Amino acid sequence: MGKKQDVIEAIYKICKKEKNFVFHNDLVKEVSKEYGFGNPFDATKVDNINVLPELLIKEDMAIIHLGDGYHSFFKGIKKIYHPLEQIKD
């Protein structure tokens, strides 16, 4: 697992423990610093399922942006990510 996945998983575990899946960029910055992830603003940018840690895939959770520095873990990966169809010649 890479640092980005480590950061995402750590934030998820914090949210799960607190039973509150909404989190702010301040938490992202704090956890990114702990893991030595240099760009905390990139940590929550997940444009395909392959970037998610296995734990989130297993628990069917994705990250959505709420605005104003807030994000949330959202149950339903297939509602967020869609596999692209093969392009026909």
DSSP for residue 22: E
- The whole-angstrom distance between residue 3's C-alpha and the CA centroid of its chain comes to 12
| Residues 56-80 pLDDT 10s | 999 999 999 999 999 999 999 999 9
Confidence (pTM): 0.90
| Residues 32-52 pLDDT 10s | 999 999 999 899 999 999 899
Residue 74 has a pLDDT of: 96
The domain spans of the chain are: 3-80
Residue 82 has a pLDDT of: 86
